Amino acid sequence: MARTMTAKIIEDHLAHATPDEYTIRIDQTLTQDATGTMAYLEFEAIGLDRVRTELSVSYVDHNTLQTGFENADDHRFLQDAAARYGIWFSRPGNGICHQVHLERFGAPGKTLLGSDSHTPTGGGIGMLAIGAGGLDVAAAMAGMPFSIPRPRVAGVLLKSSLPPWVSAKDIILELLRRLTVKGGVGRIFEYFGPGVSTLSVPERATITNMGAELGATTSIFPSDGVTRSFLAAQGREHAWIPLQADEGAVYDEAIEIDLSRLEPLAACPHSPDAVKPVHELAGIKVDQVLVGSCTNSSLKDLMTVASVLKGRKVHKDVSFAVAPGSRQVLEMLAGGDWLKDIIAAGARILETACGPCIGMGQAPSTGGISVRTFNRNFKGRSGTADAGVYLASPEVAAACALTGVFTDPRELGPCPRVSVPDSFLIDDSMLDQPPAHPERTEVRRGPNIRPLPKRGPMEDTLALKILLKLKDNITTDDIMPAGSKILPLRSNIDAISQYVFSGIDRDFPRLAREAGTGCILAGENYGQGSSREHAALAPMHLGVKAVLARSFARIHRSNLINFGILPIVIDDEGYSMLEQGASVSVKNIRAALAMSSSIEVTTVQKGTRLTCSLNLTERESEILKAGGLLNFISQKVRG
């Protein structure tokens, strides 16, 4: 039987399968510093002396603004923990985790689990790369397989080739325009067809990176001659294997994109799927332009920007900054005229880190319009609540920076042609290899690194006050905001929990504590966005025992389960009936977990039975019974 690439990798790594989910062995893991501290505290709690993966890497790339001791202390903890447990450590300044992993560690046919929602970037090199919460990654580092709901595999046929001034960013924006941020839920996107060979590995990685914005489990490209050339240029040709779908492989869904018919696109505020052609936005004044992030900070991206800017000046009213994705990219730009041309045009050069994408600096002016080559433009994520953030390609960003208004880059004249070198600068001196004697390493902890909060076993009855009623597509940024003020508190759950839902209701933490036990009521796709488990862990710490939602985003639903919060699916009628401040009773929970279907939820005021379900796998039910994944693992170890 002809198989897809997805089927081949899953079958090669399958540990267990049920009608509902696959459980697969994980070859590699990655963490970053916004999620890594908790992941390693969780790994410590499991009680092993060393990771049991082929390769695990700890990156520092998110919280690099050191305005206080917290981030520096966490970086030191991460470096020590990596040495102690047999993990590679990428030091601050070495680059963004996804860019560096693609360059130095990614391998076709391997499985990668990362505590960052954009881990699917690795699909650009032919990996089955999946984002997850830190606790799931800690479990994978302990050698436990990882479970995913059985996905539908959507085959994306790419035909022809891109016209001048149109880039890989426009391909994924086109998919977001068609499918929306909910269109990839429960799906893996597998790319094939003649258009694939026209795209470089970094271009493919741009597409798989933003597959996360579709809500996809992951996305993957074939491993072909282009992949081999990329790995050879990185001095890693030995890691290459050929991988593609068999001829005649049947996909669950079929999508076709004629690359030659695409045009420059941009996602408008405040969602990655609010996509319009750039020519329809022409003339809108632009205050800020930022190039970088794990989506568009490769050598090819920045060489393209440099070519557009060469001999020109950034508009006087535009604040323009560029953040290379890795130290390798920065050094290679500096080795030619590329960096000189970018600086001469008037750019500010930021460090090789996520930076503004996660709200770490470069907040726009009040009411400002910012054009960014990033992957998310949720309201307030930039650090300025009323800013209008647009997502676009490096070509569009450069055009806007030059003119000061939204500009279709096709108006700039002939498109510059960029040729990436056949070999890359290899310098791994800022990648610390695990030492020969890890047991000699002392793990140092700053005063902001606090013990993990714990939850007891699942109760059989819960009386819950509805603390908030929310709309569709609530993001993890809405639940647990990022930014330079809040992220440094990520290792101190008690402190960071004071900011839960702070952009929606500043009184939420107080209301939650006063209620004792509470729940959240939400619409469709609750918890879309990043993988940050703090969006589940901090509400759990405040007494949130359940979320009643019309549907859940995959990673956040898993995080809720991992921390013992019931993910209850409620129907439209029940959602409409309930209001903030009302109370509900949840009874016979253990019986419901055993059946993994309906659950008894009634309104306290009128005793009305609501139509609710859990839709859990047997494994998820067992985790919830234990009160979360750490309790579940501890029971297994003791057993």
* CATH code assigned at 598: 3.20.19.10
Q: Which domain holds residue 346?
A: 265-411
153 has a pLDDT exceeding 80: yes
pLDDT tens digits for 243-275?
999 999 999 999 999 999 999 999 999 999 999
Structure tokens at 520: 């959240």
342 has a pLDDT exceeding 80: yes
Cα 621 to chain centroid, rounded: 26
**118/257 same-domain check:** yes
pLDDT at position 165 is 98
Q: Which of 242, 261, 280 is the last residue of a domain?
A: 261
What's the predicted TM-score (pTM) here?
0.95
CA distance linking residue 324 with residue 351, whole number of Å: 7
Whether 14 maps to a domain, the answer reads yes
Whether 275 maps to a domain, the answer reads yes
Whether 456 maps to a domain, the answer reads no
* Mean pLDDT value of segment 317-343: 96
- Cβ atoms of 139 and 118 within 8 Å: the answer is no
pLDDT at position 199 is 98
637 has a pLDDT exceeding 70: no
Residue type at 153 in one-letter notation: V
- Cβ atoms of 174 and 265 within 8 Å: the answer is yes
**245/353 same-domain check:** no
- Give the single-character DSSP code of 285: B
74 has a pLDDT exceeding 60: yes
DSSP bridge pairs for 21: 149
pLDDT at position 63 is 87
Whether 339 maps to a domain, the answer reads yes
Whether 317 maps to a domain, the answer reads yes
Minimum mean pLDDT range among 75-84, 168-177, 596-605: 596-605
- Cβ atoms of 397 and 315 within 8 Å: the answer is no
CA distance linking residue 505 with residue 581, whole number of Å: 13
Give the CATH number for residue 321.
Answer: 3.30.499.10
Sorted by sequence, the CB contacts under 8 Å of residue 64 that are 6+ apart come out as 33, 71, 92, 93, 351, 353, 354, 355, 360
* Mean pLDDT value of segment 215-231: 98
**549/614 same-domain check:** yes
pLDDT bracket for residue 597 (50, 70, 90): low
DSSP bridge pairs for 154: 189, 253
Decide the pairing of beta strands 218-220 and 275-277: unpaired
- Cβ atoms of 610 and 592 within 8 Å: the answer is no
Whether 449 maps to a domain, the answer reads no
pLDDT tens digits for 527-541?
999 888 999 999 999
76 — phi, psi (to 5°)? -65, -40
pLDDT at position 619 is 93
pLDDT bracket for residue 598 (50, 70, 90): confident
* Average pLDDT in the chain: 95
pLDDT tens digits for 29-71?
999 999 999 999 999 999 999 999 999 999 999 988 888 999 9
**107/9 same-domain check:** yes
**233/281 same-domain check:** no
Angle between helical axes of 554-562 and 629-638 (0-180°, round to 10):
50
596 has a pLDDT exceeding 70: no
Q: Which of 261, 287, 310 is the last residue of a domain?
A: 261
- Cβ atoms of 93 and 87 within 8 Å: the answer is no
What's the number of domains the chain is made of? 3
Q: Which residues of 152-190 are buried (b: 16+ CB within 10 A; e: fewer)?
A: ebbbbbbeeebeebbbbbbbbbbbbbebbbbbbbbbbbb
Place of tokens 């535009």: 318
Sorted by sequence, the CB contacts under 8 Å of residue 235 that are 6+ apart come out as 423, 424, 426
Whether 619 maps to a domain, the answer reads yes
* Mean pLDDT value of segment 425-440: 94
- Cβ atoms of 90 and 84 within 8 Å: the answer is no
pLDDT tens digits for 361-382?
999 999 999 999 999 999 999 9
**93/17 same-domain check:** yes
Cα–Cα separations (whole angstroms), residue 248 to 3, 261, 330, 510, 554: 8, 26, 43, 58, 30
Share of the chain above pLDDT 70, in %: 99
CA distance linking residue 390 with residue 408, whole number of Å: 14
Q: Which of 411, 434, 452 is the last residue of a domain?
A: 411
639 has a pLDDT exceeding 90: no
**207/277 same-domain check:** no
Minimum mean pLDDT range among 110-119, 287-296, 383-392, 483-492: 483-492
β-sheet with 566-570: strand ranges across: 609-610, 600-603, 583-587, 462-469, 518-522, 544-549, 566-570, 612-613
223 — phi, psi (to 5°)? -100, 110
β-sheet with 265-267: strand ranges across: 275-277, 265-267, 388-392, 369-372, 288-291, 319-322, 348-349
Whether 419 maps to a domain, the answer reads no
Give the chain's radius of gyration (CA, Å): 24
**253/274 same-domain check:** no
**255/333 same-domain check:** no
Minimum mean pLDDT range among 20-24, 287-291, 296-300, 632-636: 632-636
**498/602 same-domain check:** yes
**HSE toward the beta carbon, residue 282, CA cutoff 13 A:** 9
Sorted by sequence, the CB contacts under 8 Å of residue 240 that are 6+ apart come out as 107, 108, 223, 227, 228, 231, 232
H or E element in which residue 306 lies: helix 299-309
pLDDT tens digits for 98-138?
999 999 999 999 999 999 999 999 999 999 999 999 999 99
443 has a pLDDT exceeding 60: yes
pLDDT tens digits for 569-581?
999 999 999 999 9
Number of C-beta neighbours around residue 343 at 10 A: 16
**386/399 same-domain check:** yes
CA distance linking residue 237 with residue 220, whole number of Å: 19
Q: Which residues of 206-216 are buried (b: 16+ CB within 10 A; e: fewer)?
A: bbbbbbbbbbb
**298/372 same-domain check:** yes
- Cβ atoms of 551 and 181 within 8 Å: the answer is no
495 — phi, psi (to 5°)? -70, -45
CA distance linking residue 482 with residue 513, whole number of Å: 22
Minimum mean pLDDT range among 16-20, 65-69, 377-381, 550-554: 65-69
